[in-house]
Amino acid sequence: MAKEKRRKIYIFDTTLRDGEQSPGASLTPDEKLKIAKQLEKLNVDIIEAGFPVSSPGEMRAVQLISATVTRPVICGLARMVPKDIDACRIALERAKKKRLHVFLATSQIHREYKLHKKKEEILDLVAKNIKSATKDFKDIEFSPEDAARTERDFLVDAVRAAVNAGATVVNIPDTVGYAIPQEFGDLIAHLVKKVPGLGKKVTLSVHCHNDLGLATANSLAAVLAGANQVECTINGIGERAGNASMEEIVMAIDTRRNLVDCYTDIRTEEITKTSRLVSHLTGMVVQPNKAIVGRNAFSHESGIHQDGVLKKRITYEIIDPKKVGLSGSQIILGKLSGRHAFSERVKKLGYKLGEADIDRAFDRFKKIADQKKYVFDEDIEALIQDEITEIPETWKLEYLKTTSESGKPPEAILKLRRNKELLQATSQGDGPVDACYKAIESITKLKAKLTHYAIQSVTGGKDALGEVSVKIQIEGKEVTGRGASTDIIEASVKAYLFALNKICANMWGPKPSPV
Ligand code: KIV
Ligand code: ZN
């Protein structure tokens, strides 16, 4: 196999550490293990499994993952203090490949208000703790917390101190998501220039938070400036507004490889599965319009877009959905959909309709789409079945109103058209449907016995299309009728009229005599 000339970007997944710091997302050790196994299938390079000193459960989770997940490097987080580092040593004991990740804040704000330490003290702590950790760890990552707000010269000093003490990875966090891409890229380029070996012998990593919605953009700017590891989480979960989202970074590098000139080893086909698992176990719902993994990321609603995608997917899609593990693009049928998308779906559902039938069905589809947000396949099947069974509409529903007041029987006002004649009746019944059926009988003078009545919601949701099927008997003959509408009373009336019209059209025996 030809050797890859592009630069490899290491994917450091922190879903189980920073991701779990999302308000409301907490995972049991078993749940963490499940996610870690899936991250291994996704082929991430490093899994930050947790912060072992923080609780016995966290220690257990990191131990469990270390003992079970063998391909990626397993990493544990520690503050720059011996007891945290020791907890990582114990938690990572059984890991085949392990990394210690130590952090200490460097910005003036953190030094003054949080740590109450001078610059020299910070540099001492970095050098002393990293040096001492080299006894137990070959792979040590150092993060100067709040690096993006740290004075540049001091940041260079802190990074140099870490590298000189034995750090193998330097991670530059934008802890509070304050940076903007050009500025962050520039900072990374500055570090590459000032600290020999960064991005080469010493891995240069970035860790961007999303407070300004720029975490992915900042990470990419850093990659372009020389970073060769990106820390990120699945679905972008994490402290406050979250971390850089792994799926966005990986797919941006992949989709724009001509510009970025880098690659990752992520098995992109596992992305959707991983995203769903993380969402399910953390209880953090993915917003529908989230890039790559949102429900709408490969769905097309406008008629113009649907027509384009059906003619050639790449007109409106920059990523093949199969590449992230989906079965294909989704054409969402609704009021903006055109005839092309509708007839394609009809074909996909197995119906072969002539042009005139399609036109009629499309007309009805548009009416339904005006009442419902989405028209599902089941809705379409229901309306096609009505459309392809052509029954002359002897009686046509023109107007329907039902009222029910407490203490009074429900009442229906109904207007039916027969040719040019518009007939009206008002009736009462045991329920609104019964009142409608009595009004129909009063107008049509056809006395039928209802032998079967069933309602079925053919689609889910509040605006579901309901289908009513009825069987009526007239003079010993039994006919069926079916009607679909978002209003169940209207569907009931349509079903009844459908059956009556069959009788009137003499389709099931001789025309009945009026009562
Ligand atoms: O955001 C941050 O600074 C962190 C560090 C621990 C890397 O999560
Ligand atoms: Zn963070």
Percentage helix, strand, coil for the chain under 3-state DSSP, each rounded to 5: 45, 20, 35
Is residue 51 within 6 Å of ligand 1 at its C-beta? no
Is residue 379 within 6 Å of ligand 1 at its C-beta? no
Closest atom of ligand 1 to 209 CA is 1
- Would 274 be classed as within a structural domain? no
Banded pLDDT at 3 (limits 50, 70, 90)? low
Do 336 and 484 belong together in one domain?
no
Domain CATH number, residue 316 = 1.10.238
Distance, in Å, from the CA atom of 298 to the CA atom of 332, rounded to the nearest integer, reads: 10
56 has a pLDDT exceeding 60 = yes
Do 405 and 362 belong together in one domain?
no
Do 377 and 400 belong together in one domain?
no
Do 374 and 411 belong together in one domain?
no
Q: How far is the CA of 17 from the centre of ligand 1 (A)?
A: 10
DSSP summary character for residue 80: S
Q: How far is the CA of 324 from the centre of ligand 1 (A)?
A: 28
Closest atom of ligand 1 to 18 CA is 8
Rounded to an integer, the average pLDDT of 111-126 is 98
Highest mean pLDDT among 273-277, 345-349, 478-482, 503-507: 273-277
Distance, in Å, from the CA atom of 141 to the CA atom of 164, rounded to the nearest integer, reads: 13
Region of poorest pLDDT, from 27-36, 247-256, 483-492:
483-492
Residue nearest to atom 6 of ligand 1 (CA): 103
- Would 270 be classed as within a structural domain? no
- Would 317 be classed as within a structural domain? yes
Rounded to an integer, the average pLDDT of 78-91 is 98
Banded pLDDT at 101 (limits 50, 70, 90)? very high
Do 376 and 427 belong together in one domain?
no
Is residue 145 within 6 Å of ligand 1 at its C-beta? yes
b/e per residue 131-165 (b: at least 16 CB within 10 A): bebeeebebbbbbbbbbbbbeeebbbbbbbbbbeb
How far the first Cα of the chain sits from its last, in Å, is 86
What pLDDT score does 485 carry? 85
- Would 262 be classed as within a structural domain? no
Domain CATH number, residue 62 = 3.20.20.70
More confident residue, 382 or 265: 265
pLDDT tens, position by position, 11-49: 999 999 999 988 878 899 999 999 999 999 999 999 999
Last-in-domain residue among 355, 387, 419: 387
Q: What is the dihedral angle through the alpha carbons of 360, 363, 369, 371, rounded to the nearest 10 degrees?
A: -110
What pLDDT score does 189 carry? 98
Last-in-domain residue among 256, 289, 320: 256
What pLDDT score does 502 carry? 79
CB under 8 A, 24+ apart: contacts of 411-420: 411/435, 412/436, 412/438, 412/439, 413/439, 414/439, 414/440, 414/443, 414/493, 416/440, 416/443, 416/444, 416/497, 418/394
Closest atom of ligand 1 to 17 CA is 8
Do 339 and 412 belong together in one domain?
no
Distance, in Å, from the CA atom of 389 to the CA atom of 253, rounded to the nearest integer, reads: 53
- From the number of C-beta atoms within 10 Å of its C-beta (0-12, 13-18, 19+), residue 412 rates as buried
Q: How far is the CA of 232 from the centre of ligand 2 (A)?
A: 9
What pLDDT score does 508 carry? 46
Do 174 and 317 belong together in one domain?
no
Q: How many CB atoms lie within 10 A of CB 408?
A: 9
pLDDT tens, position by position, 157-216: 999 999 999 999 999 999 999 999 999 999 999 999 999 999 999 999 999 999 999 999
- Would 228 be classed as within a structural domain? yes
Do 250 and 382 belong together in one domain?
no
Domain CATH number, residue 461 = 3.30.160.270
Q: How far is CA 462 from the centre of its chain?
A: 21
Do 27 and 160 belong together in one domain?
yes
Do 158 and 223 belong together in one domain?
yes
488: domain range?
396-504
Q: What domain count does the chain have? A: 3
Residue nearest to atom 1 of ligand 1 (CA): 175
More confident residue, 501 or 222: 222
More confident residue, 461 or 454: 454
Closest atom of ligand 1 to 176 CA is 1
Residue in 103, 205, 206, 219 to alter for ligand 1 test, most ligand atoms within 8 A of Cβ: 103
Structure token digits, residue 29:
């050790």
Banded pLDDT at 258 (limits 50, 70, 90)? very high
312 has a pLDDT exceeding 60 = yes
507 has a pLDDT exceeding 70 = no
- Would 509 be classed as within a structural domain? no
Q: How many CB atoms lie within 10 A of CB 324?
A: 23
378 has a pLDDT exceeding 60 = yes
- Would 286 be classed as within a structural domain? no
Is residue 173 within 6 Å of ligand 1 at its C-beta? yes
Q: Is there a contact between 98 and 137 (Cβ–Cβ < 8 Å)?
A: yes
Do 37 and 152 belong together in one domain?
yes
Is residue 48 within 6 Å of ligand 1 at its C-beta? no
Please report which ligand is nearest the Cα atom of 142: 1
Q: How far is the CA of 189 from the centre of ligand 1 (A)?
A: 20
Banded pLDDT at 385 (limits 50, 70, 90)? low
Percent of the chain with pLDDT strictly greater than 70: 94
What pLDDT score does 350 carry? 67
CA angle (232, 235, 240) in 5-degree steps:
75
Do 345 and 403 belong together in one domain?
no
What values do phi and psi take at 177, rounded to 5?
Answer: 60, 45
What pLDDT score does 513 carry? 40
What values do phi and psi take at 247, rounded to 5?
Answer: -60, -35
Q: Which residues face 471 on adjacent strands?
A: 452, 480
- Would 191 be classed as within a structural domain? yes
pLDDT tens, position by position, 401-445: 999 888 899 999 999 999 889 999 999 999 999 999 999 999 999
Is residue 18 within 6 Å of ligand 1 at its C-beta? yes
Percent of the chain with pLDDT strictly greater than 90: 72
Residue 306 identity (one-letter amino acid) = Q
**What is the sign, positive or negative, of the torsion defined by CA atoms of 345, 347, 350, 353?**
positive
Last-in-domain residue among 357, 387, 417: 387
Q: How far is the CA of 175 from the centre of ligand 2 (A)?
A: 5
